[in-house]
Amino acid sequence: MFTYYLDLALRSLRRNKALTALMVLAIALGIGASMTTLTVLHVLSGDPLPGKSAQLYYPQVDPQDIKGMLPNKEPPDQVTLIDGLNLLHAGRADHQALMSGGSVPVQPEQSSLDPFYVEARYTTADFFAMFDAPFLYGHNWTDAEGEAKAREVVIAKSLNDKLFAGANSVGRTLRMAGTSFRVVGVLDSWQPNPHFYDLNTGSYAYGEQVFLPLQTMLELRLDRNGSTDCWGNGGGGVGSILPSDSCVWLQFWTQLDSPAKAAAYKEFLVHYSQDQKALGRFQRAPNVRLRSVMQWLDYQMVVPDDVRLQNGLAFGFLLVCLVNTVGLMLAKFMRRAAELGVRRALGASRRALFAQLLIESGVVGLVGGIGGLLLAMFGLWLVRQRPSDYAVLAHLDLSMLFTTFVLAVCATLLAGLLPAWRACQIAPALQLKSN
């Protein structure tokens, strides 16, 4: 029966080529546009560390002065150096790391390569274990080595390929910013998207190529990147000048393995703030936050507004395309009232007619879905040509491929429901009489 209905559907679709083409085109355009933007949105709002991100928390405390204080105002997005070191040394979390971003000049030994700058992450040792950074060779520096301001560096695979032709470079020397560093580890390809642990240096497709101990950076005064927020008479510090203690410029991340530990940590942050206030450093009442990775990304509104706007626009567009298809399908089905009347009179049940018409709209949906998929691939190609930082990430994955077809067929079947139902209400006698 299904193949017979399919045959009927194809015959009917062939009969009104222009109308069929218009319906398929409308569905394809709607699906293509909405799948392109949905894929971009899906990629940009993904989990940077699946399976791990739920245990990672970002503590915020409020060390600002009393000026400009508003009730319910969020504490700063980063921590001061002194608070960062205090929280780090308190060691209340399962893992914790204090970090900041920057860039350093690399002077290759090979004279064939000009000096170049690489993005750097200055961090304490727990970073690698906490964020599950995979090592290709060697390992990270230890806490003791970090505190001793060791001239040690962990490099990314891409830099290892560039400088050491991909060989095990552990123990080799790397000259950066006029200082010799010993390579202690090489990371395998690793680039969490979004770049959740420091959104100020770049939200997407951003990866550091060298990782240095934070204490080493503080001693050598290496260049910083990212955001520095100051209050009162705090000097922002420029380049190698360190910001004052009334500036926040570091990120402090913790790993807390259970919700109970997270609750306890939040308590600790409140106590810490109270202690600092008693000491006279903090002026405000305790104002703390402890967000998980996904909460943090949400709070920071990491997905660009323009992407959401485009997505809304595309779905509005799809809606109009569907309304259009409903109208055209209705016209098409009603025009065949006579044919349907004959089939009814010859004994076809309403249900059979309904199935037949739905199959016809399903075929339109399927063809439109294939067209939409091609258009979405073209749309994503266009997105990749754009200079935005997330451009390289815009690829269709398997789940989105599946979503495309489900969306296309469901949407068209839904669009076919009303016209099919209306067409089935036809009284066979009336149609036969006028013929």
Q: Contact with other proteins (CB under 8 A): which of 264, 285, 320, 345?
A: 320
Contact flag: residue 177 with other proteins (CB under 8 A)? yes
Q: How far apart are CA 172 and CA 350, in angstroms?
A: 80
Contact flag: residue 414 with other proteins (CB under 8 A)? no
Smallest distance from other proteins to CB 77, Å: 13
Smallest distance from other proteins to CB 244, Å: 8
Nearer to other proteins, 263 or 323 (CB): 323
State how far Cα 158 lies from the chain centre.
23
Nearer to other proteins, 91 or 236 (CB): 236
Nearer to other proteins, 136 or 329 (CB): 329
Contact flag: residue 392 with other proteins (CB under 8 A)? no
Q: How far apart are CA 399 and CA 50, in angstroms?
A: 16
Nearer to other proteins, 92 or 182 (CB): 182
Q: How far apart are CA 254 and CA 237, in angstroms?
A: 27
Q: Contact with other proteins (CB under 8 A): which of 51, 178, 280, 347?
A: 178
57-86 footprint of other proteins as x/- string (CB under 8 A): ----------xx------------------
Smallest distance from other proteins to CB 101, Å: 13
Q: Contact with other proteins (CB under 8 A): which of 234, 341, 362, 372?
A: 234
Smallest distance from other proteins to CB 405, Å: 22
Instruction: For residue 169, give the 3-state DSSP assignment.
Output: coil
Contact flag: residue 223 with other proteins (CB under 8 A)? yes
Strand segments, DSSP code E, in 295-370 are none
Contact flag: residue 394 with other proteins (CB under 8 A)? no
Smallest distance from other proteins to CB 226, Å: 10
Q: How far apart are CA 116 and CA 121, in angstroms?
A: 16
Read off φ and ψ for residue 87, nearest 5 degrees. -65, -40
Of 82-90, 143-151, 189-197, 303-311, the window that binds other proteins (rule: CB under 8 A) is 303-311
Contact flag: residue 240 with other proteins (CB under 8 A)? yes
Nearer to other proteins, 33 or 49 (CB): 33
Q: How far apart are CA 262 and CA 265, in angstroms?
A: 5
Output the CA–CA distances (angstroms, integers) from residue 164 to 9, 40, 269, in the order listed. 64, 35, 44
Q: Contact with other proteins (CB under 8 A): which of 82, 90, 113, 238?
A: 238
Q: How far apart are CA 138 and CA 146, in angstroms?
A: 16
Phi/psi-derived region of residue 193, left when phi > 0, alpha when psi is between -120 and 50, beta in every other case: beta
Q: At what angle do helices 350-385 and 17-44 cross, to 10 degrees?
A: 50
CB neighbourhood size of 47 (10 A): 16
Phi/psi-derived region of residue 167, left when phi > 0, alpha when psi is between -120 and 50, beta in every other case: beta
Task: Give ∠ CA 333-337-339 in degrees, rounded to 5.
Answer: 105
Smallest distance from other proteins to CB 391, Å: 11
Amino acid making up residue 429: A
86-125 footprint of other proteins as x/- string (CB under 8 A): -------------------x-x------xxxx--------
Q: Contact with other proteins (CB under 8 A): which of 142, 179, 191, 283?
A: 179
Of 26-34, 259-267, 347-355, 358-366, the window that binds other proteins (rule: CB under 8 A) is 26-34
Largest pairwise CA distance in the chain: 99
Q: Contact with other proteins (CB under 8 A): which of 14, 71, 280, 306?
A: 306
Q: How far apart are CA 207 and CA 131, in angstroms?
A: 14
Contact flag: residue 165 with other proteins (CB under 8 A)? no
Q: At what angle do helices 350-385 and 305-335 cross, to 10 degrees?
A: 150
Residues that bind other proteins (CB under 8 A): 19, 22, 26, 29, 33, 67-68, 105, 107, 114-117, 177-179, 223, 230, 232-242, 244, 304-306, 308-310, 313-314, 316-317, 319-321, 323-324, 326-328, 330-332, 334-335, 386-388, 418, 422, 434-435
